[in-house]
Amino acid sequence: MNSILLLAQDLESPASATLKGDRARAVQLRHSLKPGVRTKAALLNGLRGHVTVIEASPDKISLQLELNQPPPPRRSIDLIVAVPRPQTVKKVISLSTIAGIRSLTFVRSEHTEKSYLSSKSLREEEIFRQVELGLEQAFDSVPPEIVIFDSFWSFKKERLESSIPGRAGFLAHAGERSSGLQVFTAALKGCASAALAIGPESGWSLKEHEVFIEHGFHKISLGERIFRVEQAAAVLLGQLLLALPRQASESSN
């Protein structure tokens, strides 16, 4: 990992932190810290910078802190994903965290397997584990907002109908002729933010598809081939990050 993510519970003072027990063991497993080592670190939802290792044992890590950099700005992107397989959930959370987007919403669509909603991957502790790994990879401190809806219609009422003014919406739909980058570039002119909706591999249901279109979403495609959810998310998010104006970033403060 490229950095250490510190939690508020780790702080002894503004200039020092101590990790103990399971927390120390987990961090040591990822970073193999030794006394005298200086490495990048960030405080969850706070500043970034460097830490110097004062003590490192299997059960205790003591750090001297030099945290004086703000986190990188968020990209004003909201990713909407029909709840996929448990292992794919982890990959999508990781991708969203590393990409620095504003929010990730998981939605149970008509074509979502019912068992997926009860998987361990959607439990709070497992979500945080993927977020922690993503923030350490990206040397970031602010995770995306992550929301889970067990019904498409509750998502429509609570999330979709309160769309952010000036936001462009995009609906991934297999078989469309227009490529993502072409549609992104044209639709994002004058827009400050974007939403990207990716359904299950079998696609959104007809009713769900119609709802997105009614709310102004533009259909985009990667062609006739059917991608895995995490693959479609990575490719389309990459294109969207390139197409979205740089000024459409939010301060993390």
pLDDT digits (tens, 9 = 90+) for 33-58: 999 999 999 999 999 999 999 999 98
* 63 and 92 inside one domain: no
Identify whether residues 35 and 140 lie together within a single domain. no
CA separation for the pair 34, 63 (Å, rounded): 11
Query: Are the C-beta atoms of 27 and 133 separated by less than 8 Å?
Result: no
Checking phi first, is residue 181 left (phi over 0); if not, alpha (psi -120 to 50) or beta? Answer: alpha
| Secondary structure class of 123 (helix, strand, coil) | coil
65 and 78 belong to one structural domain? no
90 & 58 share domain: no
Q: Domain limits at 16?
A: 4-69
Same domain, 232 and 187: yes
My answer on whether 52 and 92 are in the same domain is no
Identify whether residues 82 and 173 lie together within a single domain: yes
Residue-wise DSSP of 172-208: E-TT-SSBHHHHHHHHTTT-SEEEEEE--TT---HHH
- Reading the chain (253 residues) residue by residue, the pLDDT tens digits are 789 999 999 999 999 999 999 999 999 999 999 999 999 999 999 999 999 999 999 899 999 999 999 999 989 999 999 999 999 999 999 999 999 999 999 999 998 888 888 899 999 999 999 999 999 999 999 999 999 999 999 999 998 887 776 788 999 876 555 565 777 778 888 788 899 999 987 888 999 999 999 999 988 887 777 788 999 999 999 988 888 865 455 544 3
> Considering its fold, how many domains does the chain have in total?
2
Domain with 80 in it: what CATH number? Answer: 3.40.1280.10
Determine the pLDDT at residue 213: 93
In this structure, are 29 and 97 located in the same domain? no
Give the span between the Cα atoms of 112 and 104, in whole angstroms: 17
- Tell me the whole-structure pTM to 2 decimals: 0.90
Burial bucket for residue 155 (CB in 10 Å: 0-12, 13-18, 19+): buried
